[in-house]
Amino acid sequence: MLREYMATFRYLLFLIDIFLVLPAFYLTYYLRTVLLSDLRWFSKEVAPFSDYVSLILYLIIFTPLILNLTGAYQPFRRESLAKISKRLLFSVIIVMFFSGAIIFFRQEWIYSRSLLLGWGSVYFILIFFQRILVISFLRSIRKGGFNYRRIAIVGTGAEALEVITEIQAHSFWGLKIEGLITKTDEKSKEFFGLKVLGNLHNIDQILREHAIDEVYCTEFPSRKSLEKLRMACIVIGCPLYIVPERKKGFNCKISVEKLGPIPLVSYRTASLARRQRFIKRALDLFIVSLVMLVFPLIYLIVGIAIKLDSPGPVLYSSIRIAHNRRRFRCHKFRTMTKDAENLVHLLKKIDEIDGPARKSSKDPRITRVGRFLRKYSIDEIPQFINVFKGEMCLVGPRPPLPDEVEKYGFSDLRRLSMPQGITGLWQVSGRDAVKSFRERLKLDLAYIDNWSLWLDFKIILKTFPVIFKGSV
């Protein structure tokens, strides 16, 4: 019954989101053509509303699909409003991004881009306040004793206390703790102010006598007892959530996967869902395709400058270490003299990076043009070829050299646990001002532990002012 209710509720949200596309567009059109038409920035004439029917139909079809792909219709009982709003905003940005691209490539669609941007802003405001109303309504009825779930917690240790504290701190989740289930017989009838319902040996009787909607297992004495608990929950029809053992020190993503019919609990660094990986790769390819349109011109101008400045090839390719220690050939515009590899010993006395990496702003091997290219990161543009080939991403830790990796400690290898990128967190957090390898590693690991599409988007936006400002 609860599953059917949630499915109906998500379907209703889906229909409302579709319905709001047209009012948002009409409101934006009215603001643009009537209320704001006297302003200088909006003085340009806009096509009649009827000319936008094709775009509106496209938005009606495409917008809810993107919202669904980004998880906007997942249950949000235990999600914060900030997380929900970020997901909605990211979804609307994706819609506008691809809509703008389609308008650009389909020249017969002569639409106002400011109107599309305005629609995105108005639509986000409408669906955001719609979600606020829905969440407020659900929280109010939960306070009234409705739409809550009765739960039982297996265990009396630190993990159980952590779960209890989290649930009690978020009463609006609508989770009511009926009591605790111990591993074995306990003399005490109460832990943490909650009554003991019994122990795992009589789990069948506990679930028979108490109306339990969910069971949270924080500890169990053996696989046999866990299997008994699992079977009892299956018979009753209540979900069983197992709190996995977690080590302090770094974050990891925990998920359930399958090896054929065999379920597996996966501990993985920075694991994105399949749809998120798909969107990330699609964004990479879209941006790469735009860069490739102007790459021949950039290559011609930069190539002439490099050739006039010093002898040698235009491009420089070096072996780098990628995700999971795979090797690939990384491309850059040449910024050093052609015999730079033979002069690497010159860096020993002027190296500004403590640790395995090597870099110096006073490197004598860098040419005049090369210094300019490095300052504005123009030398990195050929790496979009690596992104297109799937060897790199737009955002991620920078790919290190093989001899640098040989000097890594074992824990430092976690830096290679995800795809390498052109820009990353430490590049937008001080760039060349971050001289310490350990500080750079710390920032890279912070990115890995908190990897999300939203974080990628923020880093891309922050990269532009860093590039235009230049580095020493």
Mean per-residue pLDDT, 192-197? 86
More confident residue, 134 or 76: 134
Pick the most confident of 243-247, 297-301, 451-455. Answer: 297-301
pLDDT at 344: 62
Q: DSSP assignment, residue 48?
A: -
Q: Per the structure block, which two tokens stand in for 108?
A: 């017969």
Mean per-residue pLDDT, 96-107? 74
Mean per-residue pLDDT, 244-270? 72
More confident residue, 133 or 100: 133
pLDDT at 256: 77
**Least-confidence region, from 165-174, 206-215, 425-434:** 425-434
Residue 40: pLDDT band by 50, 70, 90 thresholds? low
- Helices in 144-195 by DSSP H: which ranges? 158-169
Pick the most confident of 104-108, 321-325, 334-338, 458-462. Answer: 458-462
Question: pLDDT > 70: what percent of the chain?
Answer: 82
Q: DSSP assignment, residue 91?
A: H
pLDDT at 361: 61
Say whether pLDDT at 293 is over 60: yes
Q: What is the pTM of this model?
A: 0.56
- Which amino acid, 437? F
Mean per-residue pLDDT, 218-226? 83
- Rounded Cα distance, 153 and 103, in Å: 54
> What is the overall mean pLDDT for the chain?
82
Residue 472: pLDDT band by 50, 70, 90 thresholds? very low
pLDDT at 119: 87
Say whether pLDDT at 297 is over 90: yes
Say whether pLDDT at 466 is over 70: yes
3-state helix, strand, coil split of the chain in percent (to 5) is 55, 15, 30
For 149-243, CATH number? Answer: 3.40.50.720
Q: Could you report the per-residue pLDDT of 149-191, keeping only the tens digit for each?
A: 889 999 888 888 888 998 888 877 888 888 898 887 766 777 8
Nearest alpha-carbon partner for 387 in 334, 444, 323: 323
CB of 319 within 8 A of CB of 328? yes
Mean per-residue pLDDT, 240-256? 72
CA atoms within 13 A on the CB side of 86: 12
DSSP secondary structure, 291-334, as one string: HHHHHHHHHHHHHHHHHHHSSS-SEEEEEEE-GGG-EEEEEEE-
More confident residue, 311 or 250: 311
Nearest alpha-carbon partner for 166 in 140, 200, 131, 192: 192
Say whether pLDDT at 134 is over 80: yes
Which helix (H) or strand (E) element contains residue 124? helix 113-143
Residue 135: pLDDT band by 50, 70, 90 thresholds? confident
More confident residue, 49 or 342: 49
Task: Give the Cβ contact number of residue 171 at 10 Å.
Answer: 13
pLDDT at 36: 60
Contacts of residue 401, Cβ cutoff 8 Å, sequence gap at least 6:
318, 319, 320, 321
pLDDT at 303: 93
Say whether pLDDT at 416 is over 60: yes
Residue 1: pLDDT band by 50, 70, 90 thresholds? very low
Say whether pLDDT at 418 is over 60: yes
Pairing status of strand 194-199 against strand 175-182: parallel
Residue 294: pLDDT band by 50, 70, 90 thresholds? very high
Residue 306: pLDDT band by 50, 70, 90 thresholds? very high
Q: Could you report the per-residue pLDDT of 56-81, keeping only the tens digit for each?
A: 888 898 898 888 888 888 777 777 78
pLDDT at 271: 57
- Ranges of CATH 3.40.50.720 domains, the chain: 149-243
- Rounded Cα distance, 74 and 7, in Å: 10
